Amino acid sequence: MGTSRYGHRFPCQRFVLQLKRRMTLRRWKWRLAGLGFFALFLFVALHLYLNSGYVRAWALSRIEKNLVAQLGEVELGDRFSVDWIGRVKAGPLTVVGEKGPIFSVASVTVRPAYRRLLIGRVEPAAITLDKVDIDLDRAREAFKRLLDNPREDLHVPNQSGNRAVLDISIRANEVQIRTARPGLQKLLRAFDPLSGRFGVRRSATDWRIKGDLRFGKDGHSEFDTERDSAGTLKLKMNLDAPHLDQMVDRYEDLPFSVKDGELLVDLKVDADQNFRRGTTTSIVRMQKLQLEGDRLDSKTIGPLDLSGRATVDWDGSQIRLTGTEVGISGYAPLPLEMTGRLDLGPEHNVDLEAAIHKLDFPRLLRALPARLSPGDEIPAMTGVVSAQFGLKGPALDAGRLELTAKLDLTSLRPVQSSSVPLMNSFEYRPARENGQGPTVVVGAKNPTYVILGQIPPFLVAAVVLSEDAGFWNHRGFDFQEIKDSLVEAAEEKRFRGASTITQQLAKNLYFSREKTYARKIREAIATLTLEASLPKSRILEIYLNIIEWGPEIYGVGQAAQHYFGREVGEITPKEAAFLASIIPNPIKYHVYYRQGALSEIWEKRVHELLVKMRDWSILNEEEFTQAEATPIVFAAPKKVDN
């Protein structure tokens, strides 16, 4: 049984050695299997123990105690479980404020940090919140109280009692944000469904939260906020909503709906620990925007790109606006500069200033969508437009706000002076709701046409005082009247017109009777071209000779013949006041002619206009007294032969 002289083992010896090895290996396998079964037994036993009623009651008590110490009043449900990989699920959880629940979540799942667990330290590594509900108003109040009464930062103590680094991943699913403010609630609903994930890293001296949000259809946002050791808070955030139409489709109050478009936002905030002082810079872009709606226009407007940028800084007493930029497709940035200040005192006084520096007018028209352009009928213009605006006063009392405005059109002119057909005789066809009216010749070939010099001055003055008292001083827009009409609309829920004579002329010459915001924009552009290409006297002369004064009655000459049977130069001041008073709705007020007399209400309206004419020295006292005493006698209606 030894070895041969060549060193080889005999077969029996080799067999014995192999058998010994196999038996040794088998014993180790049984030992390992036993250890495995024992470990499995301990694991199952531990799992059952952790899910027992005793541990559940103890754990819920400890969790609630810690939450109360950190968050104040909380309500924690009786659901508690531990899964096979050590994740703890509890809930529901509600954080309660002075006026009710601030934050609630159906369930909270916590995954421990396994490496820390191996050395005996129980710390969370990831937290999942399901079905989160946040009351924004109560959260804002709680945050304000926290800023007014700051507490020591939340921390996790290590074994030596010093603050340890906390590094947690948090996921929130099905987040609902509620507020009592209807307008803001509509905005928040545009983000449904909302979910997010972010990481929280905190040390003894600073913290950082970084993550992303998902909302709506394919919408997402990334954010990064931190507080450094000096107490400075910094936030960077970007937002991309590729389906803007689905975000704003709930806004029934808007005069339009979004058919298509993408919203991009970049936000940066630097503030002190309590947000008493800080600076924020925001950049907003809308790409491929398409708008529609009956109040906006009869057709879709767009696509167009819009962009804006603004910097706002604040301290304990003021909010200041600086560094603004605005752009539109093909013209960005526009030469617009805005600055402002809002005092945070009792009246919240505001001081806003805006300046337009040499706006390239032809370039602006090229940048606008076709449905906002007035077309080729208006004179082709070249040059620039400048303007300055100011608004001062208590922000909470719109009636006391003071508006200043200056529009400079001196550098805006027609491409060629001969290209302004309105300087000569032309044909005009008034627009009607059911089509176009008869052709009116604006010039000497029309027997009822009257040049401005042949119209009595008191008639011209009556029309100007009634329709546009600032006509001779503005450049197409009476901004004070616009401001007053908006204030009245806000206070009385009723909007009165503030169109100037030039705006009315632009509407009559170029546009239909549709009442849309797009038409108002086209009308504004046409108003600028009229003011820059025609003298005021020519604007007024055309206006008086084409506006409607009654059914099928166009021009002041025809109106004088129809109502009083005389030439324009022969009418009286009171008759002039009557003609001026019916311009806003000549078809409706034609009833006085059919009745043969004015109503008591309209007699008062004519009287008020005569008083204005006297106060503006259009009439002297004797002329005013005579006009008051002279009744209005209409010409007899012409009989139509059958």
Residue 449, Cα to own-chain centre: how many angstroms?
A: 48
Q: Which residue has the tokens 């829920």?
A: 493
Residues 6+ away with beta carbon under 8 Å from 64: 74, 76
- The encoded tokens of residue 527 equal 């108003």
Taken in order 176, 181, 186, 187, the sign of the CA dihedral is: negative
The answer to whether the predicted template modeling score (pTM) of the entire model surpasses 0.85 is: no
Mean pLDDT of 489-513: 78
What is the structure's pLDDT at 249?
61
- Minimal CA–CA distance to 543: which of 435, 446, 434, 451? 451
What is the structure's pLDDT at 157?
44
- Minimal CA–CA distance to 459: which of 583, 625, 318? 583
Mean pLDDT of 440-456: 93
- Minimal CA–CA distance to 580: which of 611, 601, 605, 551? 605
Domain assignments of the chain as residue spans, ordered by start: 1-50, 55-215, 422-629
Say yes or no to pLDDT of 200 above 60.
yes
pLDDT tens digits, one per residue of 50-107: 567 666 676 667 766 766 666 667 788 888 788 877 788 888 888 888 788 888 999 9
Taken in order 534, 536, 537, 540, the sign of the CA dihedral is: positive
pLDDT tens digits, one per residue of 270-284: 998 778 899 999 999
Q: How many CA atoms lie within 13 A of 110 on its CB side?
A: 13
Mean pLDDT of 616-623: 93
Helix (H) or strand (E) holding 480, with range, is helix 479-492
User: Hey, what CATH topology would domain 422-629 get?
Assistant: Penicillin binding protein transpeptidase fold (1.10.3810)
Residues 6+ away with beta carbon under 8 Å from 376: none
Give backbone dihedrals phi and psi of 583, rounded to 5 degrees, phi first: -60, -40
pLDDT tens digits, one per residue of 25-57: 777 777 777 776 666 666 566 556 556 766 667
pLDDT tens digits, one per residue of 526-539: 999 999 999 999 99
CB of 578 closer than 8 Å to CB of 598: yes
Say yes or no to pLDDT of 158 above 70.
no
pLDDT tens digits, one per residue of 206-251: 888 999 999 888 899 999 999 888 888 999 999 999 988 877 765 5
Q: Which residue has the tokens 């070939």?
A: 445
CB of 568 closer than 8 Å to CB of 456: yes
Q: Which residue has the tokens 């955030």?
A: 237
What is the structure's pLDDT at 69?
64
pLDDT tens digits, one per residue of 179-196: 888 877 877 887 888 999
- Minimal CA–CA distance to 91: which of 117, 72, 109, 66? 109
